[in-house]
Homo-oligomer: A and B are copies of this chain.
């Protein structure tokens, strides 16, 4: 959706750009500079800092200049999301062990999202169709197909795998991205509301309150990922 301007279009594809005119404040714009600045902005000031006007301010450019590079803020968001995907995959090579490879990819997606929780919350559920996303899908599909899964299974299992990774990424990122007060309040609930429930009314919670309070502080993704891989291994044709 983002390219192929058949009609006169405000946006020029990055590859066709030739004239780099600095803004009044001296910045030279580019897709990369804008995406990097957006990531930094969101990382420093939270997701609500992701507005065209504040981005323009941070760039030292008029907000509308951004529309020379992206069709809309949504378009820009997709570019940011794709950058995150790319950062996660950089410097990784498959080993040939499908289970180890899938596990590594899953953990990388999760870790990269937690490193930029605000951006992850905004972008994790989008389909970008951009270079890094395509590369990631090709890689994961390849792992499954070469492991021996027939195509229909490979596709639907890939779907389950990636959505589980992204779902946990969103959930855990959202918890991190919460304002400090709300985050502490949510954490405290496990000690206040759940410890001390009567065994008569809530036997199962009462019996495991300590375990619950401890377990809920961590991400459940590593376990969920291993469970998924267990199930995949069991379904692999021999």
Contacts and interface: CB of A to CB of B under 8 A. Distances in A.
Interface string A188-210: 11101110010000111101100
A16 interface: no
Nearest to A151: B208
A168 B159 contact: no
A42 to B, nearest CB: 17
A125 B194 contact: no
A160 interface: yes
Contact of A220 (B74, B134, B156, B188): B156
Contact of A227 (B171, B178, B215, B232): B232
Interface stretch (A31-39, A48-56, A136-144): A136-144
B171 A167 contact: yes
A56 B203 CA distance: 41
Interface string A117-136: 00000001111110000100
B166 A171 contact: yes
A182 interface: yes
Interface of A: 1, 74, 124-129, 134, 137-138, 141-142, 145, 151-152, 154-157, 159-160, 163-164, 166-168, 170-171, 174-175, 178, 182, 185-190, 192-194, 197, 202-205, 207-208, 211-212, 215-216, 219-221, 223-224, 227-228, 230-232, 234-235
27 contacts: A1-B188, A126-B182, A126-B186, A127-B187, A129-B194, A134-B202, A137-B194, A138-B202, A138-B204, A141-B205, A145-B204, A145-B208, A151-B207, A151-B211, A155-B208, A155-B212, A159-B216, A159-B220, A160-B223, A163-B167, A163-B224, A166-B171, A170-B170, A170-B171, A230-B235, A231-B234, A234-B234
